[in-house]
Amino acid sequence: MGVVTPRAGKVALDGVDLAGQKSHTIAQAGMQLVHEDRRIFGSLNVEENLILAGLTAKDRWPVERAYDMFPRLKERRGSRGTDLSGGEQQMLAIARALMRQPKIILLDEPFEGLAPVIVRDLVKACRDLAASGQTVVLVEQNLAATLALAQRAYIINNGHIVHEGPAAEIKANPDVLQRYLGV
């Protein structure tokens, strides 16, 4: 997403190398990142955050579609970002990214610090997105939530992929879990 410039290799989306490009160029190409720290606008209300996110998008979700995905946001549509719970802020951060109708949505630690019931709801939302054809790339340390959601998993250690495969295979293989994850 332009946060870090790769030293080698390429990052391609639809055959176009995006490595080293500016964040807005990458976003226009169809990739959206939901940062670990959410980065919502605290002084704006929920609806303003959503509208602002879609302003420059070629195609954008209607605000009602975001509310259908996250009904709690509709209830809190007039609440400022700073008045939302952590889970509500995470829902808003994901909904903002979706407003731009991305080809790929990158989620960085979306379940960190959230109550189990909120994690369950977010996993369901991500599963629904994937079922509708949305590509979701998830970086997460919550192994149970990740393996419940993912079709394919990559285990990274010190910046290198040390194991990859179908999530069901990794979940069913205690040796892999023990070797790389200490579970």
| CATH number of residue 36's parent domain | 3.40.50.300
Q: Is 166 helix (H, G, I), strand (E, B) or coil?
A: strand
82 Cα distance to chain centroid: 20
Position 87 scores a pLDDT of 94
Which run of H or E residues covers position 136? strand 135-139
**Is the domain of 64 the same as that of 93?**
yes
Average pLDDT of the chain, as a whole number: 92
Q: Is 31 helix (H, G, I), strand (E, B) or coil?
A: strand
**Is the domain of 61 the same as that of 79?**
yes
**Is the domain of 67 the same as that of 43?**
yes
Residue 165 backbone class (left: φ over 0; alpha: ψ -120 to 50; beta: rest): left
**Is the domain of 116 the same as that of 161?**
no
Residue 182 has pLDDT above 80, yes or no: no
Which run of H or E residues covers position 60? none
pLDDT confidence band for 183 (50 / 70 / 90): low
Q: Residue 113: give the domain boundaries.
A: 22-142
**Is the domain of 36 the same as that of 123?**
yes
In a domain, 11, yes or no: no
Indicate the number of domains in the chain: 2
Which run of H or E residues covers position 133? none
Q: Is the pTM of this model over 0.85?
A: yes
**Is the domain of 95 the same as that of 30?**
yes
**Is the domain of 80 the same as that of 106?**
yes
